Amino acid sequence: ENDIAIIRMLKNGARGYLLKDSKPKVFKQALENIRDTGYFINELVSDKLMHYISNEDSFLGDGSPLSSLTENETIFLQWICSDKTYKEIAEEMHISPRTVDTYRDNLFKKLDIKTRVGLAIFAIKHGIVSV
């Protein structure tokens, strides 16, 4: 499983995480736990959370392309996945269209991606946005 995606889902409000091959009994237990406590933490998620907490500063690691992104580039990457134009994204982010161009060009270079669609696919694959 993708550790980064799991942690991002939890940080973005997911109440738990199940593998797609989880048994119905585990699924039922997860629903009951969410109803009763507000969350479901299985062994997989517990391990990921402990690893994240103990290594929070380096969780994304030097080998991850995410580690090189600034907070604003990550926010811009989320907007890329909308149907807004670059001009509209600039307005939403309260920045100039030229700054949007800079974020886009930096992402193209850092991630070795050539198109907006490629950036959107990257964002989905790495848990920056969910579908």
What is the total count of domains within the chain? 2
pLDDT, residue 5, reads 75
Residue 131 counted as domain residue:
no
Is 130 part of any domain? no
Indicate whether 88 and 116 sit together in one domain: yes
Q: Are 44 and 1 in contact (CB under 8 A)?
A: yes
Give a yes or no: residue 23 inside a domain: yes
CB atoms within 10 A of CB 37: 11
Report the pLDDT value the prediction gives residue 1, as an integer from 0 to 100. Answer: 47
User: Of 26, 41, 58, which residue is a domain's last?
Assistant: 58
Domain span including residue 120:
65-125
| Helix locations, the chain, DSSP H | 3-11, 24-37, 43-54, 71-80, 86-93, 97-111, 116-125
- State the virtual CA torsion across 129, 34, 18, 45 in degrees, nearest 10: 80
Both tokens of 80, joined, read: 């890329």
Q: What is the mean pLDDT of each run of 10 residues along the chain (131 residues)?
A: 71 82 90 87 75 56 71 92 94 95 95 93 85 70
Token look-up 């949007």 returns 100
**Alpha-carbon gap, residue 16 to 44, rounded angstroms:** 10
For residues 102 and 75, membership in a common domain is answered with: yes
86 and 47 assigned to the same domain: no
pLDDT at 54: 60
Which of 11, 37, 58 marks a domain boundary? 58
Note the Cα 97 to chain centre separation in Å: 25
- Which pLDDT does position 45 carry in this prediction? 74
Residues 70, 117, single domain; the answer is yes
| Residues 78 and 109 grouped into a single domain | yes
